[in-house]
């Protein structure tokens, strides 16, 4: 089982991927109701990893696409989400 540190690292990689994809950023902003400036202000907050995991895991399609993009398995994202979001 990955450590919390490893799951946070995975969430950080997902965040970087999302921020580099205009469509994903648009979806993230739409889902959250945040403006781009509000997103910039929360990127370094302690809650960002959980927020990103919730966003990625709300859609199986998104999990598979993000997993492929960052070179991990969908199961790794699922495990990290369970750890960070305490969904055991």
Domain ranges of the chain: 4-85
DSSP 6-65: HHHHHHHHHHHHHHT-HHHHHHHHHHHT--HHHHHHHTTSTTHHHHHHHHHHT-HHHHHH
Q: How many CA atoms, within 13 angstroms, populate the side-chain half-sphere of residue 54? A: 10
Residue 86: what pLDDT?
80
Residue 3: what pLDDT?
84
8 A C-beta contact, residue 80 and residue 53: yes
pLDDT above 70 coverage of the chain, percent:
98
Residue 44: what pLDDT?
87
Residue 36: what pLDDT?
92
pLDDT in tens, 4-45: 889 999 999 999 999 999 999 999 999 999 999 999 999 888
pTM passes above 0.85: yes
8 A C-beta contact, residue 72 and residue 2: no
Give the angle 31-12-32 at the CA atoms, nearest 5°.
10
Q: Assess whether pLDDT exceeds 80 at residue 50.
A: yes
């Amino acid at each position: 089982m990955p450590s919390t540190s490893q799951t946070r690292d995975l969430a950080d990689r997902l965040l970087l991927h999302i921020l580099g994809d205009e469509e994903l950023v648009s979806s993230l902003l739409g889902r959250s109701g945040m403006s781009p400036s509000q997103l910039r202000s929360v990127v370094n907050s302690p809650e960002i990893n959980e927020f990103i995991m919730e966003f990625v895991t709300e859609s199986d399609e998104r999990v598979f696409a993000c997993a492929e993009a960052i070179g991990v398995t969908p199961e790794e994202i699922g495990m990290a989400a369970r750890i960070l979001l305490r969904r055991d």
